[in-house]
Structure 1
Amino acid sequence: MAEFQSPIRVLIVDDQHLVRSGFTMMLSVEDDIEVVGDVANGELGVAAARELRPDVVLMDVQMPVMDGIEATRAIVEADLGRVVILTTFDRDDYLFDALRAGASGFLLKNCEPEQLVDAIRSVAGGHALLAPEVTTRVIAAMIGQRRSAAGRSANGPNSLGSPDQLSRLTERELEVLTLMARGRSNAEIAKELFLGEATVKTHVSNCLAKLHLRDRVQAVVFAYEVGLIRPAESPAHPRG
C-alpha cells in the first residue's frame, strides 16, 4: 500500500450548498489537497466522478435524486475513486449499507478539520478509516447481522472468517493484526513492536492477503468475529 502522491483530488457530493462551501474552504488551505468539484446529489456525483476522476469523494448520505449509498456503489464498482461517507449518523442502516457498497471511510459531519484532512490522506493512500464515534456500533451491527443471517454462530456463511484462519499468519503478523484491529496506525504499530514502518506495511498487506480481507475495516470485523479482540477493547479509527 504505497503512500499517495499529492495533490489529492477531492470531489464533494452534498445537497447542502453551505456544507460544500465549508468543506471547500476548509480543504483549500492544504497544499496537498485540491477540491476539483462539488455537486448536489448522487447522480451528479457519479457523473462528476466519471468526468473528473477524483482520488477521494466526500459523500453525503441523504440526498435527492440519488442517495449516497447508490452513488457510492456506482463509483466503487466503476473504480472512479475512493469514497468517504460524511454523515450525522442518524440512520445506522444507511451507514452499514454504504460500508457494503464499498466506502473506504466514515466520518461525522461535526468532526474536527484535522480529522477530515487525515481521512482524505489515509483513504487516498489506500487505507480505510472510521470515526471513533461510529466504529463500535458499525462492527457490532455488522457482526449481529451476519449472525442473524447465518442463524447460528459468527462462523456462518456470511462471516469474514473463523479462528482457524489465524493459523495462516506468522506470530509477528498476528501481533500486527491485533494492533491494527485496535485502531493503531502503521507508525504506532512500528513504535510498539520496534519495527520500521515499511516492515509494518508489509505485514499489514500480508495479513489482508492471507485472510482475504479488503481493508482495515474488514480486519477489525474479522478480529471481533474470531475473538482476537473483545468489544471492551474498542478501537479508535482503523487507519494506516
Structure 2
Amino acid sequence: MRRASAAILAASGVGAAGHHLAIVADRQLSVAALAALVVEPSRYHLVHQARGVGAIRQALSDFQPAVIIIEAAWLKGLSPVDALGCKENVLILLDPEDNPGVFIQAAAAHARGYLSRTAKREALHNAIERLRSGDDYLDGAIAGRMLAAMSQSGNTVAPRAGLSERERGILIRIAGGRSTKEIGREYAITPKTVANHVNNLSHKLHARNRGQLVLFAAEQGLATI
C-alpha cells in the first residue's frame, strides 16, 4: 500500500477566496516541512489534512486546488493522473542529488512545473504563482538535469515549420526564464497575446510544456542550460 499524506492550504488576502494549494508527499513530516515554507498570514493558511491515497483524492476533488505540489520520490514512476487523478497545474519537487531515473520519470509525467526540493521560500512562492497565472516553471537549479532527462527519455521536440522573428524572440525569453507577464511587458503586448504565441510555438515544435521549448532552444544554440 502506497503511503501518502497531504495538506490543503487556502490563499489569504483580498480576492483570494477559492484559491487552494495542495502538497502531497509520502511522509507527514515532509508535508509539514513544505507547508511551513508556504504558510504565511498574508499568503496561505492550512485548512485540511489527509492521509492515504483515497482520502487525498477526495480532498483534491473537494477543494479543487489551483496548484498541486508533489514530491517526485512519492510518484515512483506514476504520472500525477494515475497516482491521484490530477491533470493540470502539478509542480513536481526533485532533489538535485536524485538518481537520473527519478528525473526521467519526472520528465515523463509532463508536469507544468519542476522545482528543486532545496528551494527557498521565495522560489517556491514564485513557482506557485507562475503556475497559478498559467505559466510553466523550470527551476534553474535542476534545469540541466531535467532537460537531459527529457532528452534521454525521448521527450524532445520535432519542428513542424520555421519560426517567425517574434516567435524566436519569445522562445529565447522563455528559455531565459521570463514569465508571460514579463514577456508581455517587454513586447508591449497582452499576456493573452503572449500565450497565443507560446501556443503557436508549442504547435510548431510539438512541445507539450515549457521544458521542451527550453530544450529545443538549447539544442538550437539559443540558450544555455
Corresponding residue for residue 160 of structure 1: 157
**What letter is aligned with 1:160?**
V
**What letter is aligned with 1:219?**
L
Residues of 1 paired with 2:181 and 2:170: CA distance?
A: 12
Length-normalised TM-score, structure 2:
0.75
Q: Deviation per CA, 1:161-202, whole angstroms, max 9, x where unpaired? A: 04xx341x32211211122123222344345x5423434333
Residues of 2 paired with 1:71 and 1:43: CA distance?
A: 16
Q: 5 Å matches for 1:81-120?
A: 81-89=88-96, 90-120=98-128
Is 2:88–2:111's contact at 8 Å kept on the other side of the alignment?
no
* Structure 2 CA distance for partners of 1:197 and 1:35, relative to 1, 3 Å: farther
**What letter is aligned with 2:140?**
P
Q: Using the TM superposition, give the Cα deviation of residue 135 of structure 1 relative to its aligned residue in structure 2, in angstroms.
A: 0.6
Structure ranking higher in strand proportion: 2
Residues of 2 paired with 1:10 and 1:23: CA distance?
A: 12
Is 2:24–2:68's contact at 8 Å kept on the other side of the alignment?
yes
Which range moves more in the overlay, 28-37 or 215-224?
28-37
Structure ranking higher in helix proportion: 1
Corresponding residue for residue 72 of structure 1: 80
Q: 5 Å matches for 1:2-41?
A: 6-7=16-17, 8-29=19-40, 31=42, 33=44, 35-39=46-50
* Structure 2 CA distance for partners of 1:160 and 1:145, relative to 1, 3 Å: same
2:207 to 210, 213, 216: 213
Residue ranges of structure 1 left out of the alignment (5+ in a row):
147-157, 235-240
Corresponding residue for residue 223 of structure 1: 217
Is 1:15–1:39's contact at 8 Å kept on the other side of the alignment?
no
Q: Are positions 1:182 and 2:176 aligned together?
A: yes
Length-normalised TM-score, structure 1:
0.71
RMSD: 3.0
Residues of 1 paired with 2:55 and 2:77: CA distance?
A: 13
Q: Deviation per CA, 1:26-76, whole angstroms, max 9, x where unpaired? A: 32326454555444565654443234322211112334xxx3542613268
Q: Using the TM superposition, give the Cα deviation of residue 20 of structure 1 relative to its aligned residue in structure 2, in angstroms.
A: 1.9
Corresponding residue for residue 142 of structure 1: 150
**What letter is aligned with 1:11?**
A
Provide the aligned length of Structure 1 versus Structure 2.
Answer: 208
